[in-house]
Structure 1
Amino acid sequence: MKNTILLITVIAAAIMELIDTSIVNVALSHMSGNLGSTLEDTSWVITAYAIANIIVIPMTSFLTNKLGRRNYYIGSIIAFTFFSAMCGLASNIWTLVAFRFLQGIGGGALLSVSQAIVFEIFGKEKQGAASALFGIGVFLGPTIGPTLGGFITENYSWPWIFYINIPIGIAVTVSSILLITEPKIKVKVKEVDWTGILLLIIGIGSLQTVLERGETDDWFAANYIIALTVTAVISIIVFIWWELKIPNPVIDLRVLKSKTLTIAAILTFVTGFGLFTSVFLTPVLAQRVLLFPPTITGLILLPGAVLAIFGLMFSASLLKKGVSPLIIISAGFILFIIFNWQMAGMNLNAGPADLAASLIYRALGLALLTVPLTALAVSGLDAKDVPQGAALNNMMRQLGGSFGIAIINTYVANRFGLHRNDLVSNINIYNTNFTERLNKVTQYFLSRGGSAFDAQKKALAVINNSVDRQSFLLSYLDAYLFIGLLFLLAMPLLLLVIKRKKQTAPVVIISDH
């Protein structure tokens, strides 16, 4: 009974943290209007949280060993809960961004430490089931975030997106205080790698800011983007050199000597790319182009999320029975490619059911990828290197999402310009379809009163909006094809990962992050 409550506690903490990566996606316009800020400034609410997460996740193993797992975990939950409340109380955009960053610092520990505790509860003989169970949280968090955010935004107000964390956070804190203990095997930290910590914060913080803000500020047309890019490159190069040089690094990059971990990390990066970009693209397509309300937009992700739970357990069961991970991961990639192919065929008449049906392929595909990739990431490591390998793998998933959203934003903007130019080139007095539509809409406005000049002006505005809407649709469809192609190109790497393992299912041994 004690272990069951502890299991529910740590998985709830992980899901709570991951939900907050996407819960604000459908509420940005409401925040913008309420706080009197531009949409570009408001998007820093997403950026700040992502930056904090990316910085803290790879440091989790070090911080746990330094502060003690129990103290670090409970302290992180308290910080996450407190700053969630402060986010809801924020009266201006930059106060909200600051509290959101601090919320992300607190949340960074919840994913990896929760993962370690889940595997510790199950033991080595049930690692597949543990991996699947934790995978539910990894998958469900970002997926149901927009659903929950849409419901709260439409029926209440945006601060409740953050207030909802308070009762959960308090319950998780109390349960953690009563149940969480220190791991049996402790690693003493002899020296604190302050240089490595500083380089990591500067390098990853600069890189994440460039990725999140590059498209909004026209990339290298902005001086601060150039400065941060140079800072990121120099800091990361020096960080890698420093961490490989010293005996007690904050992140032990030597674990990447494992070919299995390196390839699995690349595949996890691609999976993160697909997971986060699809969660980002689909709500935008649904609301901006198909004109779905926030609640419906969130709900279209729900059927797939529910089925994914069974997919995760099924993949763990297959691994336990000795089914080759190559088959399971390949099936996951193929299902995700099918999802993108179907989404690339949508049109303006697509309804919620059409999107929900396609999203089932996405959910099942990612469900089949989560367990085997988590297993492969650490299966080739010595027991002492497993915590660091798991932390690096978690970071690669988050980085994949950050790179993905930045790349897709830029790609969609470029494709929008091309598609709009193509469509506008067909709008002229010699195009009978255009002239008939213009006359029909003009007559409609004339029938409602007003001058002929005003009626035609309004008619042209309607047609211009239709062109924009169609251009956005085509751009998003291109983006889905782009993501599907990336997954297709990544598939050959599976042969390199599985080759040495043959038909043996990998054993997951995850201790501390």
Structure 2
Amino acid sequence: MNPPNNASAPAPLVGWQFALGAFAVALATFMNVLDSSIANVAIPTLSGDLGVSVDEGTWVITLFSAANAVSIPLTGWLTQRVGTVKLFVAAILLFVVSSAACGIAPSLPILLAARIVQGAVAGPLVPLSQALLLSTFPREKSSSALSLWAMTATVGPIAGPALGGWITDNYSWSWIFYINVPVGLFAAAVVWALYHKRETPSRKLAIDKVGLLSLIVWVGALQIMLDKGKDLDWFNSPVIWVLTIIALIAFLFFLIWELTEAKPIIDLRLFTQRNFMGGTVAISVSYAVFFANLVIFPTWIQEYLGYRAVDAGFVTAPLGIFAVILAPVMGKIMPKTDMRRLATVAFLAFAGVFMMRSLYTTDVDVHTLVLPTLLMGIPMAMFFTPLTAIILSGLPPEKIPAAAGLSNFVRVFAGAVGTSLMQNTWNNRTILHHSQLAEQTSATNPTYVQAIANIQTTLHASVFKAQAFFEAQMSAQAAMLGLNDIAWLSAVIFIVIIPLIWITKPSKDGAANAAGAGGH
């Protein structure tokens, strides 16, 4: 979103109204970002309470992201149709209602339905919060407004896992959703009180209904297919075939319609721009890998290392420390540096961190778990803003909002798809390693026989209990080897996509455009 630039734009807030307004808008952003990570460490507990597998519990994250992705392209149309302030407050209130519905959900289907609504109404919160902050600050301090926004958005990955783990262990997973109710009501009340007289004009606009419907169909069919694939044995199931065909046909129809529609809901012609195409693919693939690991890692810690949810949260929380510390530093470095170099360094750093994770063993200590997570905050601070600047560089001002919306849609949807694909890959690699290890569990293998005898002696257990204990240890070893494969694959992906950065052209106006359009 660009800051107001016309004579009729309201004057910036001052005094206590300025401080309170900026805090309330930032709080709404924080609530939204927090909710995207707070559920990660609660998935094992949530799944157990609802009587579903952890794989099914992961849908709580992936369906939220998919719904969020679909709603992002609607933000521009809704803003002009309803008004910035009304839409922002309405989105907060609907987020509060859907959060409460998540908390009281007695079953997974009801919880998923509430999460879909929650993800959909969360779509406009990020760009609208940037627009409101820019109108709150004086024009000459617009960079400070975006820095404040970036700070609140970055604190989420720090607070989310730790807070989610603490709430889950000490109260109930339901409270990770209930916590949004008082926060959201406060933010909505303050924003409405201070901003309702600063409403932007609204007007009736036509919407690309066919494009929107086809978008919902192919995104929904694809996401359900990916999430249900493992349970239904993939393409041995007619349901998976039907979902795949629906997704493919709807996607092809969507492409043709959007490329020929005069006012498409998503301007796919932007992909003809070299910087937009290279930057969007790079940021989407990298975000997909990053976000998928953010979901899988705490699940592994709890399921196979026996960590409590709160402990898993504290292990993953250091991710955002360097991201917060380096945020103001990046603001000073970016105008003086080629964005492509910053993004390249970030991708190499991500690859190094994931290579560190690929060396884990089942007796890994806390320090070894935390160090790569802590270091990951460095490339996290370095890759997002430079790539956003690359994506928007060279575009005319009237194309910036559409480009920002489309790149965000692709990135968020990539995160949902990437999580599903990585989860399935981890399961498949775990099964493969388990079968390879199981080949050695033969009564004719002296090593196996000796291991069972040692377990019997140590635990004073029967042969049956010793074999069960050995099987549990073998399953943990297989899951760890599968996770190592995921980490190694993630490192390779980050290196392989570096050339995408360098097919783009350097541009001096990239950083300014990124600031004007907003980001996350």
| Whole-angstrom distance in 1 between the partners of 2:338 and 2:143 | 13
**Alpha-carbon displacement from aligned partner over 1:447-491 (angstroms, at most 9, x marks no partner):** 46xxxxxx1011111111111111110110110010110110011
| Whole-angstrom distance in 2 between the partners of 1:256 and 1:181 | 37
Q: CA separation of 1:251/1:6 partners in 2, compared to 1, >3 Å: closer, same or farther?
A: farther
> In the alignment, is the contact (CA less than 8 A) between 1:419 and 1:474 conserved in 2?
yes
1:457 equivalent in alignment to 2:472:
no
Q: CA separation of 1:39/1:488 partners in 2, compared to 1, >3 Å: closer, same or farther?
A: closer
Query: Match of 1:510?
Result: 516
Q: CA separation of 1:488/1:128 partners in 2, compared to 1, >3 Å: closer, same or farther?
A: farther
CA shift for structure 1 position 108: 1.8
Query: Match of 1:501?
Result: 507
Q: CA separation of 1:329/1:130 partners in 2, compared to 1, >3 Å: closer, same or farther?
A: farther
1:346 equivalent in alignment to 2:337:
no
CA shift for structure 1 position 96: 2.2
1:165 equivalent in alignment to 2:180:
yes
Q: Greater CA deviation, 62-71 or 138-147? A: 138-147
Amino acid at match of 1:462: F
Query: Match of 1:145?
Result: 160
Query: Match of 2:192?
Result: 177
Query: Match of 1:452?
Result: none
One of 346, 362, 383 as aligned partner of 1:369: 383
Q: CA separation of 1:487/1:298 partners in 2, compared to 1, >3 Å: closer, same or farther?
A: same
1:276 equivalent in alignment to 2:279:
no
Q: CA separation of 1:329/1:39 partners in 2, compared to 1, >3 Å: closer, same or farther?
A: closer
CA shift for structure 1 position 56: 0.6
One of 106, 109, 112 as aligned partner of 2:124: 109
Amino acid at match of 2:310: T
CA shift for structure 1 position 418: 2.3
| Whole-angstrom distance in 1 between the partners of 2:509 and 2:185 | 45
One of 463, 470, 473 as aligned partner of 1:466: 473
**Alpha-carbon displacement from aligned partner over 1:424-463 (angstroms, at most 9, x marks no partner):** 2223345443222211222345x46xxxxxx101111111
1:266 equivalent in alignment to 2:281:
yes
Q: CA separation of 1:236/1:126 partners in 2, compared to 1, >3 Å: closer, same or farther?
A: farther
Q: CA separation of 1:131/1:229 partners in 2, compared to 1, >3 Å: closer, same or farther?
A: farther
1:91 equivalent in alignment to 2:106:
yes
Query: Match of 2:238?
Result: 223
| Whole-angstrom distance in 2 between the partners of 1:87 and 1:55 | 20
1:356 equivalent in alignment to 2:373:
no
Query: Match of 2:22?
Result: 7
Q: Greater CA deviation, 414-423 or 337-346? A: 414-423
CA shift for structure 1 position 372: 1.1
> In the alignment, is the contact (CA less than 8 A) between 2:164 and 2:176 conserved in 1?
yes
TM-score by length of 2: 0.89
| Whole-angstrom distance in 1 between the partners of 2:485 and 2:289 | 14
Amino acid at match of 2:210: T
1:66 equivalent in alignment to 2:73:
no
CA shift for structure 1 position 221: 2.6
Query: Match of 2:248?
Result: 233
CA shift for structure 1 position 335: 1.4
Q: CA separation of 1:288/1:172 partners in 2, compared to 1, >3 Å: closer, same or farther?
A: same
Query: Match of 1:486?
Result: 493
**Alpha-carbon displacement from aligned partner over 1:150-187 (angstroms, at most 9, x marks no partner):** 11110111111111001110111012202336989868
One of 418, 421, 427 as aligned partner of 1:407: 421
| Whole-angstrom distance in 1 between the partners of 2:83 and 2:494 | 39
> In the alignment, is the contact (CA less than 8 A) between 1:338 and 1:361 conserved in 2?
no
Secondary structure of the 2:36 match is coil
> What is the root-mean-square deviation in Å for CA atoms of aligned residues?
2.6
Q: CA separation of 1:487/1:220 partners in 2, compared to 1, >3 Å: closer, same or farther?
A: same
CA shift for structure 1 position 344: 0.6
Secondary structure of the 1:91 match is coil
| Whole-angstrom distance in 2 between the partners of 1:36 and 1:439 | 36
Which residues of structure 1 form unaligned runs of 5+? 449-454
Q: CA separation of 1:142/1:209 partners in 2, compared to 1, >3 Å: closer, same or farther?
A: farther
CA shift for structure 1 position 84: 0.9
> In the alignment, is the contact (CA less than 8 A) between 1:127 and 1:508 conserved in 2?
no
CA shift for structure 1 position 369: 0.8
Query: Match of 2:6?
Result: none
Which residues of structure 2 form unaligned runs of 5+? 1-14
| Whole-angstrom distance in 2 between the partners of 1:319 and 1:37 | 46
Query: Match of 2:8?
Result: none
CA shift for structure 1 position 297: 0.6
Q: CA separation of 1:304/1:38 partners in 2, compared to 1, >3 Å: closer, same or farther?
A: closer
Amino acid at match of 1:67: V
Q: CA separation of 1:510/1:379 partners in 2, compared to 1, >3 Å: closer, same or farther?
A: same
Amino acid at match of 2:502: L
| Whole-angstrom distance in 2 between the partners of 1:352 and 1:269 | 31
| Whole-angstrom distance in 2 between the partners of 1:395 and 1:243 | 15
| Whole-angstrom distance in 1 between the partners of 2:300 and 2:515 | 40
Query: Match of 1:425?
Result: 439
CA shift for structure 1 position 247: 2.2
Query: Match of 1:333?
Result: 347
Q: CA separation of 1:400/1:173 partners in 2, compared to 1, >3 Å: closer, same or farther?
A: same
Q: CA separation of 1:31/1:359 partners in 2, compared to 1, >3 Å: closer, same or farther?
A: closer
> In the alignment, is the contact (CA less than 8 A) between 1:116 and 1:510 conserved in 2?
no
One of 411, 429, 451 as aligned partner of 1:437: 451
